[in-house]
Amino acid sequence: MAEDSDGYTDYSIVEEPTLFSVRLSGRSRGTQIPETANAWFGTFDDVAKYFTARRVAAPTRSRVQPDRVESINTRWLDRGLAPGWDQVDEPDPGGFSPATRYFRSDQPERFYFTVNTDSATSFVLNLSWRELNSTFSEGLSGIERIPMPKFSDD
């Protein structure tokens, strides 16, 4: 129960009229956190990859073997955008400015905003589902014994 907890975060992916948002709410140190959007995407596949990589895989990886595996997200820091991505300054869907919309030059329906400047997400979105799984499971002992499913983009 929230009243007995030090804290929790509840994430949701919400389909809105023209995009998908990642929303969070929860409780921290006894204070309720109202639901807010902290990322927006043009396609469900991209919002799902972002959520899987940034909200599930990266934190799980850091807790499983924190002293023996590298943080995947640091690979893409200070590298700019992944090939095929571009950016334009514009307010985010929540109206916050200054903000940046990142988008695929060849597929403008693929775009994202996050609450912080975030070019590294473009690298995550360029991965296939199998590559995403392989990348975030690198170096984890015992992972080779877990059967991998057929991925939607195989």
Q: List, as one string, the DSSP characters of 63-104.
A: HHSTTTS--GGGGGTTS-SPTTEEEEE---TT--SS-EEEEE
pLDDT over 90 (residue 132): yes
Global confidence as pTM = 0.85
pLDDT digits (tens, 9 = 90+) for 30-53: 788 888 898 999 999 999 999 999
Asked if residues 44 and 113 have their Cβ atoms less than 8 Å apart, the reply is: no
pLDDT digits (tens, 9 = 90+) for 71-130: 787 888 888 999 999 999 999 998 898 899 999 999 999 999 998 888 999 999 999 999
Tokens representing 121? 């997400």
pLDDT over 90 (residue 67): no
Q: What is the pLDDT of residue 66?
A: 59
pLDDT confidence bin for 20, thresholds 50/70/90: very high
Asked if residues 73 and 87 have their Cβ atoms less than 8 Å apart, the reply is: no
pLDDT over 60 (residue 1): no
Q: How far apart are CA 87 and CA 69, in angstroms?
A: 31
